[in-house]
Structure 1
Amino acid sequence: MATRADLVTMTQPETRGKVPVRGRKARTHRARVGARGRDARSMSQDQTEPEGEARLFEGIAPHAVACPLDPGGLAARARRIMASQTPVFFAARRSHGDPSRLPVFLVGLATPTAKRIRAVLSAHSHIHGAPSLGLIPALVASLESWDRHYGRARVFPESLEALSADDSLKAAQWVLQRLQEEAPGADHVLDGQGLDAALVGLVHLLLPQAPLIVCLDAAHAGNADTRPREWRRLQAVQQRLLHHWRAVLPGRLIEVSGEDLHAQPRETLHSLFARLGLGFEERLLQVMTPPAGPEVPGAFVGAAVAHIRAGRLAQAEATLGEVLRQVPGHPAAVHLLGVVHFRQGHPESALHLMRQSLELIGTPVREWQHNLAVVRKALKARLQKGAGEDLPEISEPPG
């Protein structure tokens, strides 16, 4: 017999070149290469490298560097990142970077939950919400430019393989200096530009203690299914990368659920700021206003999902009632109300509501059809137990 756990509560569904050597190993490397008879021009470049290295991060214009947003290019780069930045890669680089917690990054695209969390973080008395600084993309551009200058064909992420501990510290200090100039005396600085998930590994390498916050929106939040196709492709790449980082750097990401944020804002923010080592401030609840316009029903639906998962069925029913008051016949709300009724022990009304939701949406939704099948099976089992004989399959009602 089907159980309550069977119900689905979600409503919607290279090029290789010379290996660059920097820092303390540079002199030994030059001697070794010289012994193999490198030509005079190459030797001259290597001899000038340490002096130029000190200027590696000077003269960068971060605001002029934009993170590429071509989905095809980002997908190809993501595959290379996932292949190269493995647990072994990071285990061999535990001594890299600076342990400062000054920078705070929001990872991923600007979803409704990310916008709300950004507003809350920027309003905290110990966090400075900076404009879009773009420091990490600028750093990538600088490293690639440096390799090109010395005739190396490597690009990001392959260029990180030869980044020494000394150079990672130098890069981290360049970032920290820019942030301190942006907000002198601040405990934390939040970059106004969201961090591409492809750059999480680089940030971890340079700033292994810097908070990396990921906002999780349900598939229906913010009408994601109506977004442009390119946006949805970008989001898919980001999700694949986040899945990679969860496996490679377990516990490194601070994840905030949009559903939990709407259903239990105080508890969710308490947990977030505890991870940041900061106290919760009551006034932040006033900053965190629900998204405007058509996103409001989506936020309520997300909250209802969170209530259902936590077993708060009465609260879920009240929340869904509010959605249906604002948008009568909201398909997701009708379906979830059916889920609530089923878990309350009312399969007959659950069956009616789930059928109604599929009629309202007008297109097959795999999870909803699964839920409907579960309810039918449970109702049939109940009838069989009472009558002691098999009954025909429950048919669809007339249109």
Structure 2
Amino acid sequence: ICASHPDVHGAGELSKLRRMANGLGLKYSSDTDVGKSVAAITPELTKTLASEHLAYLRERAPDALRIVDKMPHNFELIGLIGILFSNARIIHCRRDAIDNCISCFVLQFNETHNYSADLETLGLYYREYDRLMRHWNKVLPGRIFENRYETLIEDQEEHSHRLIDYLGLPWDDACLRFFDRDGSVNTYSNWQVRQPIYKSSVKRWRNYEGEIQPLIEALGNLAEVDL
């Protein structure tokens, strides 16, 4: 939807931020080590890193007013994003927790995402993701736009207007016809983004309810089983 706007460039899933975080010592560290690494990010270093990253993005789309990096695991880096880019628009895409996990489970990601290969582990991982997102919303109030999948498909036009408004851009009807957009898509969503919005994936997990109890139990109160 965003990338269909004429002033927006969809850059796909970029690994640049993750490499930057790793270089700062924010990978697989203890709480103490992470605290030291964050404390070492001086105003001068912040300016340098931000300038380098913006230049990297600008090379991809010199004329775009907004550039979208849709790497899913950017949710782990929102703190770093908040430090480096005070004007960044952060869009949090949410979905029914069980549906979301089932989608990850059946896609059979590579070993980097081995948490998704076991239903119980996947449910526990999702709980940690949810906990982290609640933390980011507390420390960065008002900075994160929540884009709920089920809300979007109920009223695509209204929600799309809100999304584009959050980006600070004028409305363009092309955003409603994202499936007509030219260009390659090299992620697992390559089929979905070529289709109009559909509702058949909502509560799809009920088709497998008898086989996914370990996931539902691991999700606990995040599993919306009664809705």
When the two structures are superposed, what TM-score results if normalisation uses the length of structure 1?
A: 0.41
Any idea what the Cα deviations from partners look like across 1:174-205, whole Å, max 9, x if unmatched? 11111111111211111242343221001100
- 1:319: which partner in 2? none
Q: Distance in 1 between matches of 2:137 and 2:18?
A: 22
Summarize the Cα distance change of 1:204–1:235 in structure 2 as closer, same or farther, 3 Å threshold: same
Q: Distance in 1 between matches of 2:101 and 2:200?
A: 10
How far did residue 331 of structure 1 move?
Answer: 5.8
- 2:42: which partner in 1? 164
Any idea what the Cα deviations from partners look like across 1:9-36, whole Å, max 9, x if unmatched? xxxxxxxxxxxxxxxxxxxxxxxxxxxx
- 1:213: which partner in 2? 91
Other structure's SS at 1:255 match: strand
Q: Distance in 2 between matches of 1:370 and 1:173?
A: 48
Residue 264, structure 1, aligned to residue 188, structure 2? no
How far did residue 246 of structure 1 move?
Answer: 1.2
Q: Distance in 2 between matches of 1:268 and 1:225?
A: 23
Matches within 5 A, 1:1-399: 120-144=1-25, 155-156=33-34, 158-221=36-99, 224=102, 227=105, 228-229=117-118, 230-287=121-178, 291=192, 296-299=199-202
Q: Distance in 2 between matches of 1:249 and 1:239?
A: 15
Quote the RMSD (CA, aligned, Å).
3.6
Summarize the Cα distance change of 1:361–1:200 in structure 2 as closer, same or farther, 3 Å threshold: closer
Q: Distance in 1 between matches of 2:53 and 2:225?
A: 51
Other structure's SS at 1:279 match: coil
How far did residue 275 of structure 1 move?
Answer: 0.8
Which sections of structure 2, spanning at least 5 residues, go unmatched? 27-31, 106-116, 181-190
Summarize the Cα distance change of 1:247–1:288 in structure 2 as closer, same or farther, 3 Å threshold: farther
Which sections of structure 1, spanning at least 5 residues, go unmatched? 1-119, 146-153, 303-329, 333-359, 372-399
Summarize the Cα distance change of 1:186–1:361 in structure 2 as closer, same or farther, 3 Å threshold: closer
Q: Distance in 1 between matches of 2:44 and 2:103?
A: 46
1:219–1:225 Cα contact (<8 Å) kept = no
Summarize the Cα distance change of 1:155–1:177 in structure 2 as closer, same or farther, 3 Å threshold: farther
Summarize the Cα distance change of 1:242–1:183 in structure 2 as closer, same or farther, 3 Å threshold: same
- 1:109: which partner in 2? none
Q: Distance in 1 between matches of 2:53 and 2:149?
A: 30
Q: Distance in 1 between matches of 2:199 and 2:209?
A: 18
Other structure's SS at 2:97 match: coil
When Rg is computed on C-alpha atoms for both structures, the one with the higher figure is 1
Other structure's SS at 1:271 match: helix
Q: Distance in 1 between matches of 2:157 and 2:74?
A: 28
Any idea what the Cα deviations from partners look like across 1:283-319, whole Å, max 9, x if unmatched? 3222259958xx95333x59xxxxxxxxxxxxxxxxx
How far did residue 160 of structure 1 move?
Answer: 1.2
1:140–1:156 Cα contact (<8 Å) kept = no
2:101–2:122 Cα contact (<8 Å) kept = no
How far did residue 221 of structure 1 move?
Answer: 3.0
Q: Distance in 2 between matches of 1:284 and 1:156?
A: 39
Q: Distance in 2 between matches of 1:225 and 1:141?
A: 28
Other structure's SS at 1:173 match: helix
How far did residue 234 of structure 1 move?
Answer: 3.4
How far did residue 224 of structure 1 move?
Answer: 2.5
When the two structures are superposed, what TM-score results if normalisation uses the length of structure 2?
A: 0.68
Q: Distance in 2 between matches of 1:207 and 1:179?
A: 13
Any idea what the Cα deviations from partners look like across 1:246-267, whole Å, max 9, x if unmatched? 1121111111111110100000
Q: Distance in 1 between matches of 2:150 and 2:225?
A: 23
Q: Distance in 2 between matches of 1:368 and 1:133?
A: 32
Other structure's SS at 1:283 match: helix
Summarize the Cα distance change of 1:224–1:283 in structure 2 as closer, same or farther, 3 Å threshold: same
1:223–1:298 Cα contact (<8 Å) kept = no
Q: Distance in 2 between matches of 1:182 and 1:210?
A: 17
